[in-house]
Amino acid sequence: MPVQGKICGLSDQTSVDTAVSHGARFIGLVFYPSSPRYIDPELAAQLASNVPDNVDKVGLFVDPDDFLIQTVLESVKLDWIQLHGSESPDRVRVIRQKFGIRVLKAVKISDKADFEEAKSYEKVADMLLFDAKAPKNMANALPGGNGLVFDWRMMQGLEFSIPWMLAGGLTAENVAEAVKISGAEIVDTSSGVESEPGRKDPAAIAAFLAALAEIER
């Protein structure tokens, strides 16, 4: 089975079209105002309007209240809500039940103990996402999309009861190694396909998805 790819933080039509035409399984739209990848619901609706049904649209939120989620959903038909903040398992459960949309919960990783936190979300989320945890002394760190990589070897031997996605500093150059070491079947990139924070590089998107297509599992 081919490795599936998610291109996150898309903010212009060319990048969306490139991701879709080169085989992305998921596209990510960021609704976190502090992110350089943030877009408003109106633009998100335009970008999502021609995305085919076989490509899932994921809305990224960070510790959102219900009003923000509802406001976005009134404009954009999302297939997934991605929670990339410090949402508790109970909060994840409430969001999933209230809005009736699949939830992708991000867990930040710096050491193997962080995977224990992930276990607490298995019964309330539909998928997990493992991203690199930013060090406390990192200036202007974001909840995700910092271009950091964690040690994929920590994932060897781990099992989860729901699907999971690997993120954190993935590029066309390192994604094959990441998949080989971690066993990931789905991968996510954002900063790894950018020319600068918030500006996607269509050539890098195409190269990343081409690299996925060449991985033999």
Question: Cβ-count burial of 198 within 10 angstroms (0-12 exposed, 13-18 middle, 19+ buried)?
Answer: middle
- Tell me whether residue 201 is one of the annotated catalytic residues: no
pLDDT in tens, 157-180: 899 999 999 999 999 999 999 999
Q: Which position among 17, 65, 90, 131 bears the catalytic label?
A: 131
What CATH code is carried by the domain that includes residue 137? 3.20.20.70
Please indicate whether residue 8 is annotated as part of the active site.
Answer: yes
Question: Is pLDDT at 1 greater than 80 in this prediction?
Answer: no
Point out the catalytic residue in the list 8, 12, 56, 126. Answer: 8
pLDDT reported for residue 146: 52
Counting the structural domains of the chain, the total is: 1
Nearest Cα to Cα of residue 156 among 180, 122, 177 = 180
Other beta carbons within 10 angstroms of residue 118's beta carbon come to 21
Residue type, 148: L
> Which residue range forms the structural domain that includes residue 11?
4-214
Task: Look at residue 3 and give its three-state secondary structure.
Answer: coil
- What mean pLDDT is predicted for residues 52-78? 97
Residues 6+ apart with CB under 8 A from 120: 89
Residue 96, pLDDT score: 98
